[in-house]
A and B are shown apart, each in its own frame.
Chain A
Amino acid sequence: MSELAAGTLTTSVGEIDLRRGGRGGPVPLVYLHSAQGEGEGMTMLEALSESREVLAPLFCGFGTSEGIESIDDIEDAAFWALDLLDRLGLSSVDLVGMSLGGWIAAELAVRWPERVRRMVLVNPVGLYVEGAPIKEIFGRDLSELAGELFADPEHPIAQLMRALAQFDADPSQIPFDLIRPVLQSQAATAKVGWNPYLHDPKLRRRLHRITAPTLVVHGSQDGIVPRAHAEAYVEGIADSRLEVLDGAAHMATLERPDEVAKLVLEHLA
């Protein structure tokens, strides 16, 4: 397996951080990341790139991607994704979206269904489901949050989060270079997801517009997004099905790369 190559793409809002690699498949596969901004060195993407051309852009405010000042809400994010496809000259793609990225994928697919051939949403946010609230991700104790994002407490990111939590009383002890990207990506997530909290009240009644056959993956141990959200997506999207990944937590694309890659490839085949 080889790592995706780092690069940039000029879009209407500025330079975007874009990783790409691999070849094959009827259309390119675009991976939209979660609020963690994952992409670099990601095992799952490398696995996918063995048989597919994979593109992994970073949303505004993540990594070196510019243009967050042009983003005010999730609709702006959908237009950002559309602009990205246009700049890449892609009339149709397969979309794989993780959490926040799943939400952006769905917002794109309800507006421009013809641009999405097939779609996989992994623990997506984006909907409001009464009685099944999405857990707070902002302002949380990081060691607690780590336990909800990751099934394995020894995952490197979970370990890092617990280490950072030690400095809660005096954050001046943390090297600032370590938290700068976290601050930036959280601010970007807040821009689209603070209120309404990680959902778009109009999205559910638009889901019927999606034509792409869609697989919704839910991690049975997801501490952030309840299963009812995955079910609501499946209920709203005509050609869709639910796959429950037993024992997986929220960050399933990081923790269970091989299984998720297998599900993705099967669905996109």
Chain B
Amino acid sequence: MDSHKPLHLKTFAMILIMIIAGPLGNVLLGKGMKSVGSTSVASFSELTHVVGRVFASEYVWLGVASLLTFFVANILVLSWADYSFVQPASSMAYGVVALFSVFLLGEEVSPVRWIGIAIICTGVFIVGRTHPRTTEHP
């Protein structure tokens, strides 16, 4: 009983890390890749050149670190909380990524796209809230 509240705090802290680190990682990768420029390759030497430019970008490395943070928080929280609780909570990440894109990258998001993103959040929330196990007999 005593462990109930700390467990909740721990869970919410992890979910908070997830819905910030995941979108932040994507935004950083986006910023890094925009500075890398075109990635279309016609030959092997061009490919090595592009890969070299990708990994020379500090934003790409920060993005990878941020996504790793998301991944570790995700694995940790799943070791004590149900997937059907964690996944709907993380559906907010789709809204957060749009907000970060607007405020950190200065991207423009049209009203139709905002509505689409809101519907995606709702859909992901519902997909995750349903019973995750259907193949096991009682």
Report if A and B associate in a common complex: no
B binding-site residues for A, Cβ under 8 Å: none
A binding-site residues for B, Cβ under 8 Å: none
